[in-house]
A and B are shown apart, each in its own frame.
Chain A
Amino acid sequence: MRAEELKGHLDAVLLAALEGGPRHGYAVIEALRQSTGGRLDLPTGTIYPALRRLEQAGLITGSWSVVGGRRRREYRLTAAGRRALSGRRADWRDFAATVSAALEGRPCPNPA
């Protein structure tokens, strides 16, 4: 799956990768690879600005540490981030169920 196909869902995916605990940028990418079986083909460099944007939105918070002589920025979910993730998950389930129903000709499980 390419980056453009993920458009609109990158924030939720990044928040989900941080749900298990604090991670730095590369660890977030590794977590996404593991959780998707390597099917997410994202340019690694673009993950970092996305994390910065989530931090500015108050959904995650970053802190610096020194590892192996290099400065490393680690991110963790805020309470607002957990709420946002929960909301995005619910929206995604609803969206996926609706589109699946349309594509497969099945009745929608949650009609309007």
Chain B
Amino acid sequence: MADPRVAGYAEALFAVAAAEGDPSVVEDELFRFAQALRSDDSLGSTLADTGLPLARRLQVIEDLLGSRASAVSTALVSMVVGAGRTAELPAIVDAMVERGAASRNKTVATVRSAVDLTADQSERLAAAINTRTGRDVEVRVVIDPSVLGGVVTEIGDDIIDGSVRRRLNQLRESFR
């Protein structure tokens, strides 16, 4: 069960995104920012550093998202960082994305790949997952170089691993 505080922030972010228009765009922008925050420890520590003036940290957010994301997404990230919940931001965004998918009667499928998927690949992958599991999913791509090649899909507790990394690990195990 999700942390009530995380769930509360996620519900608030989704409500703001829905009030401002199409929430899926905001969800996608926040999802990508959360993945960047996960992969870059220095970014997370900078935004969580209360020794830095809030204006400085908000300026960092503006510099990162100002030209790449909507004003709503930038404002929501600034709000969470300003509230001192930078460490919980990835979990809040995950909950918000799941909340938005649920509002559309879908499930989030987190796809990790070394390279970004094209829109066509995302649609075909969503259709393939639907064919295999019977669930409508929204594909959220996470760029993960450790995958090397191929794709790893996580739907809830289910994992479909088709990465080159898994093949190498299997080869390593066969040597033992």
Asked if A and B are interacting partners, one says no
